[in-house]
Amino acid sequence: MDQFAIEFALKADLEWLVRHDKHVDRAILEKKLIRQEVLVARSNDGIMGWLRYSLFWDSIPFINMLVVLENHRRRTVGSSLVQYFEAHMKEQGHSRVMTSTQSDESGQHFFRKVGYEDVGSLLLPPEPLEIMLMKRL
Ligand SMILES: CC(C)(COP(=O)(O)OP(=O)(O)OC[C@H]1O[C@@H](n2cnc3c(N)ncnc32)[C@H](O)[C@@H]1OP(=O)(O)O)[C@@H](O)C(=O)NCCC(=O)NCCS
């Protein structure tokens, strides 16, 4: 099994994240690093995956993005990132967390596997149905 640690992304990770996380721009990522809203799984060889979050309704922690690099998948990196996130949110006093996945993405099966339940859906044409998921901490 790979050795890795989960931690908040550092300022020094910005360039790596800008290259890999194509869904948000640099300025947003920079702010999120300062606010500690990005977690990374790090090994001696570098970052293996990341989790980016924010607060839905300014109150419920919401995983916006979770990606494990392809060559590191199915080795507990994704579930470790999620566990760290959940433990940190619980420590902050939150009693539930949320996320969403497109209905054509296999990530939905991962989230159900780690305890998330379907709580609704969102249709934003032309995208496929977005499934909303929640877990009580
Ligand atoms: C989804 C993803 C984050 C999972 O990361 P991972 O490091 O491979 O997951 P883990 O090894 O921690 O797996 C935890 C459990 O979920 C299961 N699992 C992982 N990916 C799965 C999938 N695509 N479908 C079904 N089950 C899955 C594993 O088998 C494991 O089960 P086990 O405890 O019985 O062994 C990773 O596959 C990924 O980055 N996918 C592309 C991006 C994505 O879909 N992100 C999520 C939506 S934003």
Any atom of ligand 1 within 6 Å of the Cβ of 78: yes
pLDDT in tens, 83-97: 999 999 999 999 999
- The H-assigned helical ranges of the chain are 14-20, 26-34, 77-91, 107-113
State the CB neighbour count (10 A cutoff) for residue 13.
20
Query: pLDDT tens digit string along 88-134?
Result: 999 999 999 999 999 999 999 999 999 999 999 999 999 999 999 99
Domains and CATH numbers, the chain: 5-136 (3.40.630.30)
Span from the CA of 101 to the centroid of ligand 1 (angstroms): 12
- 66 CA distance to ligand 1 middle (Å): 10
Could you identify the atom of ligand 1 that is nearest to the CA of residue 65?
Answer: 48
